[in-house]
């Protein structure tokens, strides 16, 4: 369980970017006992608290593409990173680590938004393009990894946990009574909703682009409820489901650290 945080486009001329990103990271130390890292550039900052799962030594974040144009802070697991890495190597990409973080970054460099359609995983990440001065933030299809954002001082803050915003000078939390009543009624926040004014969740299956003072959010995935044509027998259907589940479990067992197993009461 890693954690990421950052800010972009804030207009506070007295802002000490390094101190601020360190303060924001300090709020989520519990999410990453293995490594804390940050990158700052004028009015933006990226930070990561890392829990090492893949490439324990070399997967330090934020990670650069090697030229310094792109930087990524990443929280998650890309289950099909080995297959994507091979495809990227064929396309001419040279890797400096064995981490899935670098696969995410180089996939973005190669395919842009279309990379998200190729990802099989649980993730939330932010990529900063130093040439275009843009930040791209994305969340996995089902929102398994959290990502919150808010606007302040003419710019934006984002993080795996809302408490990171305590680390930004002058930011205040105020309850949103309408959201609270909705959360209490449904026993869970609705998409994008939080209990606080001005703080939102990036919806699952969405990408956010920060460019200057502009913020664009668009979906890259939506559930397809159309019936699937299947001409096989009931036993063949059972076998296909079993094979699909076994393959899903196999992909999730990729790890450079010891694993454990526990059984939940539901499916």
By annotation, the residues acting in catalysis are: 2
Structure-block tokens of residue 133:
């001065």
Strand order in the sheet with 214-219: 63-64, 70-78, 121-129, 134-139, 206-211, 214-219
Q: Can you tell me the distance from the alpha carbon of 258 to that of 253, in angstroms, rounded to the nearest whole number? A: 10
H or E element that contains 210: strand 206-211
Torsion of CA 97, 102, 103, 107, to 10 degrees: -140
> d(Cα 126, Cα 98) in Å, to the nearest integer?
19
CB neighbours of residue 112 within 10 Å: 10
| Cis previous bond, 62, omega within 30 | yes
Are the CB atoms for 208 and 200 separated by under 8 Å? no
Q: Cα-atom radius of gyration of the chain, to the nearest Å? A: 20
Which residues does 21 contact at the CB level (< 8 Å), separation at least 6?
5, 6, 7, 38, 40, 45, 46, 47
Pairing of strands 63-64, 148-152: unpaired
Smallest Cα–Cα separation from 201: which of 169, 170, 167, 176?
Answer: 176
Cβ atoms 200, 206 nearer than 8 A: no
């Amino acid at each position: 369980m890693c954690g990421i945080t950052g800010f972009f486009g804030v207009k506070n001329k007295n802002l000490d970017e390094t101190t601020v990103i360190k303060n924001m990271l300090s709020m989520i130390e519990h999410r990453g006992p293995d490594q804390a890292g940050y990158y700052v550039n004028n009015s933006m900052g990226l930070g990561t608290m890392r829990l090492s799962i893949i490439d324990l030594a070399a997967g330090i974040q934020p990670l650069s593409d090697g030229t310094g144009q792109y930087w990524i802070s990443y929280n998650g697991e890309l289950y099909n990173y080995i297959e994507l890495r091979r495809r990227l190597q064929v396309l001419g990409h040279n890797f400096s680590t064995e981490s899935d973080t670098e696969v995410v970054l180089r996939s973005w460099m190669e395919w842009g938004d279309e990379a998200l359609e190729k990802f099989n995983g649980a993730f939330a990440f932010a990529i900063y393009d130093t040439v275009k001065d843009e930040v791209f933030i994305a969340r996995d299809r089902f929102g398994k990894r959290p990502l919150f954002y808010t606007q302040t001082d003419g710019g934006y803050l984002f993080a795996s946990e809302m408490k990171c915003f305590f680390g930004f000078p002058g930011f205040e939390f105020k309850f949103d009574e309408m959201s609270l009543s909705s959360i209490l009624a449904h026993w869970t926040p609705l998409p994008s909703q939080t209990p606080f004014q001005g703080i939102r969740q990036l919806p699952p299956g969405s990408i956010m682009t920060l460019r200057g003072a502009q913020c664009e959010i668009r979906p890259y995935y939506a559930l397809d409820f159309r019936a699937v044509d299947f001409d096989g027998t009931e036993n063949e259907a059972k076998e296909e489901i079993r094979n699909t589940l076994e393959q899903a479990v196999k992909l999730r067992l990729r790890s450079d650290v010891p694993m454990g197993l526990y059984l939940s009461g539901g499916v």
